[in-house]
Chain A
Amino acid sequence: MQDQASLVAVLNSTWFASGLEPGIQTRLAEFSRTFTAEPGQELFREGDESKLFGVVIKGRVALRTHVPERGDFTILTVEPGDVYGWSALVPPYRATSTAVAIEAVEAITFEGPALRAALREDAALAQALYPRVLVAVARRLNATRVQLLDLFAAEQVRTW
C-alpha cells in the first residue's frame, strides 16, 4: 500500500473515491497515508481536535459517545468504503464522537490541515471531493434519523 499507484488503486476500490478523475485521485494520493490500528485502539476522542480524515479499507471502527453514568454507546460503525473524521474538514474541527478500532483496521488517511489547504487552493479538487464528503455525511444523517425512529421498539415510541 506504499507506492502512489497502489494508493490510487485502493482509493478507487472504495465507494467514496471510486470514479474520481485520475488527476484528482493522484492529487489525493499525494498527501494520503496508509494507517493501521489494532483492535481496541482509539483513533480519536470526542471533543479533541480532529486531525485526520480517513477512508476505511478493512476492518471496523466504532463511533462511540459517552453518557455520564450510563457509559459508552456505539452509535455507528464505520465499514470498509466509508469515511470517518469528516469533522477534520468542517469547523470547529472537533471530533463529534470517539472512534475505536474494534477489528484490525486498515485505512487511508489525510492530514486535516493539509487537506483543507489543498481544498482551498485547488478548485478542481474541492469540486470533486466536497460532494463526496456531503454524500457520506448525508447518508449518515439519514441513517441517524431512521435510528431515532426506534422502529424495532416493542411499542410505538412517543417522543412528545
Chain B
Amino acid sequence: MVISASRSPRGSRPAIEGPGFLARADLQVLFDLLREDGRRLIGPTVSDGSIIYDDITSVDQLPRGWGDEQSPGRYRLRRRGDERLFGYVVGPTAWKKWTFPALIPLTRSTHDGHKVSFEPEQATAPKLAFLGARACELAALGVQDRVLIGTEFIDPDYMVRRANVFVVAVQCTTSASTCFCTSMGTGPEVTEGFDLSLTELDAGFLVDAGTPAGRAVLERLPLRAATAAEQYGVAATVAAVRARIGDPVPTDGLHDRLLAQLDHPRWAQVAERCITCGNCTLACPTCFCTTLTQTTDLSGETALASRSWDSCFSPGFAKVAGGSFRARPRDRYRQWLTHKFATWWDQFGTSGCVGCGRCITWCPVGIDVRDELNAIAPPVPLSPESRLVEPVAATPNEFVTARVVNTKAETADTTTLTLTGVDPAFSHGSTGQFAMVALPGFPPLPISISRFLTDGIELTIRGAGPATKAMCALQVGDQVGLRGPLGNNWPLDRAVGRDLVIVTGGIGLAPLRPVLHAIVADRRRFGDVKLFYGARTPADLIYRDELERWGKRDGIDVSLTVDRAGPDWSGRVGIVTHLFDQAVWDGSNMIAFVCGPERMMQAASTTLAGRGVSASRIHVTLERHMECGIGLCGHCQMGKYFVCRDGPVFSIAQLGDTFGREGI
C-alpha cells in the first residue's frame, strides 16, 4: 500500500530503532491513518455472543475486556476483568470472507437465438485493512496465496482482493484449549505475512513493521521506543502461550503416517459422530473448494454463474452421473483429513492446516481433529529412532574424531568397532543413517551406524578394500575421523502398529541392527516382527549372540539361512527368499525393510510384493559410490535422487523402474 506522505515522517521526530510503544489511548490514530488512506477497516467486534470480524471504524467497537473459552463444540465469551482489546483467541470468522468471499458473480451469459455469449465479471476489490490477524491466520493467508495465486493458473478475483489488503497482525498473548499452531509451525509468534504487528501489553502495544508499507504507517504513529522490559515482557508472554499450547499434534512423519492408514477402522468410527454438516470447512481459513450456481431470468435468455464456497462434506461434492466417489461420510471425513495434513503437502508444498482450532470449536458434535490424528496416525515418541539431527562436520573438509574402545571380530573379515568421545549428534542419529569414516591417507567411506549408544556408536565394517581393511585393523585407543550422521532413516514410525518384515543378507544386517534395538526397546508398539537373515556360510553370520537373544527373549521371529554349510550346521541352507515365499500372510498390514546386495533386495521385494506387501511399504537401503555424503559430489546419483542425501532408504514405489536396472 502507499500512504500519502505530504510531510516527511522522519522530519517530524527521530526514527525509532526496534519496536515502538503505542499507548492504548492512541490506537485510534492507527484506525484514522488507515481510513485516511481510503481503507475499510475490518476488525474484531462482539456480535451474537461471539467475537467476529466485521467493518469497524472506532476503537470503541473492539471487544474491550472480552475473552473467550473454547473447547470441542463449545464457544463462550467471558469477561476478562481487564481493559485488553485483543484478549481473545480466534472466533468463527476467517479473513477469507474478504479475500475469498463466500459468493461472487463469475460470468454473465446470454442466449440470443442461435448465438450465445459469455461475459466475465470484472474482479474489483475495496481497499481493506485487516486489524487483529493472528499468526495462524497470517499462515492461512499464505496457504491460500499458494493455492490460488501460487501456481500456473491464478484466481483473478483473489489476486485483486489480496493485493488490496493491509494486514495489521496481533501477536497472541492468550490461547484456547483448541489451539495447536505450535504443532503446525505457524505460531504463536508473528513472524511474516504482515504489514504492521501489534502485541498488547497492559497499557498499550508494541508495534513493529513487516513491510515498507507498514513502516510508512508506523512512522506516522505517536510512538516512543519500547523499553527493554516491555520487549522482554512480550517475548515472555508469547513464550508462555507456546508452552501452554504444547505440541498436541506431533507432525514428524505425519504425512506418511496418515497416508499409511487409509484402512484404519477409526474412519468409520468418527463418521458415526460426524454429521457431514461442513461447518469445519466453512470455518477453516484455508479451505478453498467452490461450486458454481447458475441463476437465469424467467425468459432463460440471460444467466449469471456465481461461485460459492463448497465443502467436501457435501453429499454431491464428488458426484458423477453414476454416483458419488465418496458416498459414505467416512470417505468424506478421510478425504478432508488426509488432504489437510498429507496430500496438501504433495500438491502445494505446505500443510493445509494452520492449527487455528476453528474446526474443533465449531464442530457441532465436538470432533477434535487432534484426537482423530493421534488415534489414526499415532505419533512415534521422539526418540533417536524417529528424528534426524543436524550432522556435525557436515562439509567434506572437516571431521570430528572418536576413539575406539572396543573391537569385536564378527567374522573372519568383519569387525565391529565401538567408538566413544563422539559428538553427541551421533548418539542422537537415527536408524539407517551412516557416517563418513576417515583415516589419514585413505578416502573417507560411508559406513552404516550399527548401534547408537548414549555416549557413542558402533560401526560394523567388512574389510573388502585397503581403507576398510585399515579400519578393521584398528585397535582399542586408536582414533578415527567422522562426519555425520548422514542420510535418512528407516521409516520406523510407519511400522508402529503394523507387522514388520526385515529381510537382510550378509553385512546388510548392520544398518538394520538399530531398528531391532529400537523395536526391542519398545516391543509392544509393533505387531509381529520377522527377521529373515541369509549369509554365505554359518561362519559369515554376524551378531550371533544378539540373533539368539532377539529370537529367544525379545519376541522377534528370527529365521536364518546360509548359502552353503558343512555337516555340523543344523540350520537352514538355501536362499533367503525361500524363508517366506510359501508363507501364508496378510501382507496388507505389513511393512518391510530390506538390506543386502541389490540382486537379493530385488528378489526379496518381488517375493514380498507377491505376499501382498505394497511397493510403498517395501523399503530398501541402497549402496552407491559416495565421497561427500551430502549431495554435492554427484557420485551417488540414481535417477532423480542422490542416494546419500535423499536416501539411502527408499521405498520401492519411490525408486520405480530404476531399482535393479543395470547401468543407472
A residues with CB within 8 A of B: 15, 60, 62, 64, 71-77, 79, 81, 100, 102-103, 139, 143, 146-147, 149-155
Contact = CB atoms under 8 A, between A and B. Distances in A.
A125 B346 CA distance: 56
B535 A102 contact: no
Nearest to B505: A152
B567 to A, nearest CB: 5
Given A81-B582, A143-B575, A151-B599, A73 B565 contact: yes
A152 B540 contact: yes
B603 interface: yes
Contacts of A77: 561, 571-574
Contacts of A147: 563-564, 574-575
A150 B563 contact: yes
A152 B536 contact: yes
Interface string B559-581: 00101111101111111011001
A102 B506 contact: no
Given A73-B564, A74-B567, A150-B563, 20 more contacts: A15-B582, A62-B567, A73-B565, A73-B566, A74-B564, A74-B566, A139-B578, A143-B574, A143-B575, A146-B575, A146-B600, A147-B575, A150-B536, A151-B505, A151-B600, A152-B505, A152-B534, A152-B535, A152-B536, A154-B413
B36 to A, nearest CB: 78
A81 B540 CA distance: 28
Contact of A151 (B413, B506, B569): B506
A153 B536 contact: yes
B597 A60 contact: no
Contacts of B464: 154-155
24 contacts: A15-B582, A60-B570, A62-B567, A64-B567, A71-B566, A74-B573, A75-B573, A77-B571, A77-B572, A103-B570, A143-B575, A146-B577, A146-B600, A146-B603, A147-B564, A150-B536, A151-B596, A151-B599, A152-B534, A152-B597, A154-B462, A154-B463, A154-B464, A155-B464
A103 B569 CA distance: 11
A154 B410 CA distance: 14
A47 B348 CA distance: 69
Contacts of B534: 152
Nearest to B506: A152
Please provide the 9 A-B residue pairs with the shortest distance between their CB atoms, ordered closest to farther: A152-B506, A152-B536, A151-B597, A15-B582, A74-B565, A77-B573, A143-B575, A72-B567, A74-B573
A153 B462 CA distance: 11
Contacts of B564: 73-75, 147
A125 to B, nearest CB: 23
Interface of B: 413, 462-464, 505-506, 534-536, 540, 561, 563-567, 569-575, 577-578, 581-582, 596-597, 599-600, 603
Contacts of B581: 139
A73 B463 CA distance: 26
A150 B505 CA distance: 11
A22 B567 CA distance: 40
A75 B505 CA distance: 17
Contacts of B599: 146, 149, 151
B544 to A, nearest CB: 16
Nearest to B463: A154
A103 B567 CA distance: 13
A156 to B, nearest CB: 10
Nearest to A151: B597
Contacts of A103: 570
A79 B578 CA distance: 10
A154 B569 CA distance: 21
Contacts of A60: 570, 572
Contacts of A79: 572, 574, 578
Contacts of A155: 464
Most B Cβ at <10 Å: residue of A79, A81, A146, A152 = A152
Contacts of B571: 77
Max chain B Cβ within 10 angstroms of own Cβ: one of A62, A64, A100: A62
Contacts of A139: 578, 581
Nearest to B464: A154
Nearest to B578: A143
Nearest to A142: B575
B603 A71 contact: no
A39 to B, nearest CB: 8
B505 to A, nearest CB: 6
A62 B573 contact: yes
A72 B270 CA distance: 63
A132 B571 CA distance: 26
Contacts of A151: 505-506, 596-597, 599-600
A139 B603 CA distance: 13
A72 B561 CA distance: 18
B40 to A, nearest CB: 73
A102 B538 CA distance: 16
A4 B318 CA distance: 58
B620 to A, nearest CB: 14
Contacts of A62: 567, 573
A56 to B, nearest CB: 12
Nearest to B584: A15
A150 B571 CA distance: 19
Nearest to A102: B570
Contacts of A75: 564, 573
A99 to B, nearest CB: 12
A102 B571 CA distance: 8
Contacts of A152: 505-506, 534-536, 540, 563, 596-597
Contacts of B572: 60, 77, 79
Contacts of A153: 536
A100 B619 CA distance: 38
Contacts of A15: 582
Nearest to B583: A15
Contacts of B536: 150, 152-153
A104 to B, nearest CB: 12
A73 B568 CA distance: 10
Contacts of A73: 564-566
Contacts of B563: 147, 150, 152
A75 B561 CA distance: 11
A62 B413 CA distance: 27
Contacts of A150: 536, 563
A81 B578 CA distance: 12
A72 B573 contact: no
Nearest to B468: A154
Contact of B574 (A76, A100, A102, A149): A76
A152 B508 CA distance: 9
Nearest to A15: B582
Q: Which of B413, B462, B566 has the most CB of A within 10 A?
A: B566
Contacts of A76: 573-574
